[in-house]
């Protein structure tokens, strides 16, 4: 993997995720703002976009929705993964993600 976009607004959590991603990619662009992330997705090529909503964010899907349009509009769209920081709550989240064209994974 050449380049990953990491969208994580938590200043304590984001560096830890970035460090974990270093094992699969050297170039990671860290972004805390969804509008900036959308702009970057329109202008730069990324192999993967990792979206990390706040653990208390009940509307976690809004974070992913904010970048779906620019991802959909790119020539070679990156894979989008939503990293949820809360316990697994059943298959509904993964089914929702599959319908929308992204994946959900849970942080341990």
Structural domain boundaries in the chain: 17-88
Flag whether the pTM goes above 0.85.
yes
Find the helix or strand (DSSP H, E) in which 84 lies: strand 79-84
Tokens coding 81: 């993964």
pLDDT on residue 58: 66
Write the pLDDT tens digit of every residue in 67-99. Answer: 888 888 888 899 999 999 888 888 998 898 899
% of the chain exceeding 70 in pLDDT? 98
Residue-wise DSSP of 25-82? -SEEEEES-HHHHHHHHHHS--SEEEEE--TT-TTHHHHHHHHHHHHHTSSSPPEEEE
Write the pLDDT tens digit of every residue in 4-20. Answer: 999 999 999 999 999 99
């Amino acid at each position: 993997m050449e380049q990953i976009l990491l969208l994580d607004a938590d200043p304590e959590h984001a560096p830890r995720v970035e460090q974990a991603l270093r094992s699969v990619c050297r170039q990671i662009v860290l972004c805390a703002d969804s509008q900036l992330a959308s702009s970057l997705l329109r202008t730069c090529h990324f192999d993967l976009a990792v979206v990390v909503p706040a653990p208390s964010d009940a509307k976690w899907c809004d974070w992913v929705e904010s970048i779906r349009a620019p991802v959909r509009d790119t020539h070679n769209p990156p894979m989008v993964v939503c990293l949820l920081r809360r316990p697994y709550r059943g298959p509904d989240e993964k089914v929702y993600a599959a319908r929308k064209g992204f994946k959900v994974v849970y942080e341990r």
